Structure 1
């Protein structure tokens, strides 16, 4: 129930309760809150057991979709898209080695492109006053 509440939040609630209720009434309020939470849990457990008794085997069929929905809490769209697009490949671009070969003796990278036999070199920087090349199709 308190999975997402950390110790910092609990401390803030206690300090706020101490200021609002005062030190005399705070233990009574904490006991009342604990009893209320305990009753709610008992009601939920009782309702679950009653539903299980009345529905019988169909209760498990009802629980399956609910558990699937609960699994969506940890849903990570980036991980799912990466798995779908790259079939779970940890290095989809084949950039594992610096020289571009993937240890496959130049056959092919995991993405289907042929592996390069030599490292790619950067073009020379432009000299002062030199204009960069223009690609008319790109502009």
Structure 2
């Protein structure tokens, strides 16, 4: 019933109770709360027992679909595969999972450590939009025309 309440919450509730009720009334309040919880639990158990007695076999017919729904809620992909495809034997799936984990561990250990990040290389110079300059050639062809 209180499986979701942790020790931290209990300490907070006790501290709040101590502050609000004071040290004189806190033990009485705790005992009253515990008695009330027991009574509620006894009433619920008694009501389900009385319902089971009155309905007889019909109660089990109503209870069976609820149990099936609870089983479906607890199903995981692994349990579905093992139940329907492997007949409930999960050893092969467990072996496969263990092998995959070992392979991943080996690969992770065999990878070299990350190299130091290098500064990015300087980008090549951008092409100029200006017209290239005309340079004088070493051979002057005008001399040939004169002859």
The RMSD of aligned alpha carbons is: 3.2
Describe the shift of the 1:97–1:41 C-alpha distance in structure 2 as closer, same or farther (beyond 3 A).
closer
Q: TM-score, normalised by structure 1?
A: 0.53
Unaligned runs of 5+ in 2: 104-120, 122-147
Between the aligned partners of 1:20 and 1:74, the Cα distance in structure 2 is: 41
Write the mapping of 1:1-139 to structure 2, written as runs, cut at 5 A.
1-72=1-72, 74-76=74-76, 79=78, 83=81, 89-90=93-94, 91=96
User: Deviation string for 1:71-92 (max 9, x for gaps)?
Assistant: 455444x5457x38x9764438
**Aligned length, in residue pairs:** 95
Describe the shift of the 1:18–1:61 C-alpha distance in structure 2 as closer, same or farther (beyond 3 A).
same
Superposition deviation, residue 6 in structure 1: 2.1
Larger Rg computed on CA atoms: 2
- RCO higher in structure (CA 8 A, sep ≥6): 1
Between the aligned partners of 1:97 and 1:27, the Cα distance in structure 2 is: 55
Describe the shift of the 1:39–1:58 C-alpha distance in structure 2 as closer, same or farther (beyond 3 A).
same
Unaligned runs of 5+ in 1: 99-127, 129-139
Q: TM-score, normalised by structure 2?
A: 0.51
Superposition deviation, residue 7 in structure 1: 2.1
Between the aligned partners of 1:37 and 1:4, the Cα distance in structure 2 is: 16
**Greater helix fraction, Structure 1 or Structure 2:** 2
Between the aligned partners of 2:102 and 2:23, the Cα distance in structure 1 is: 65
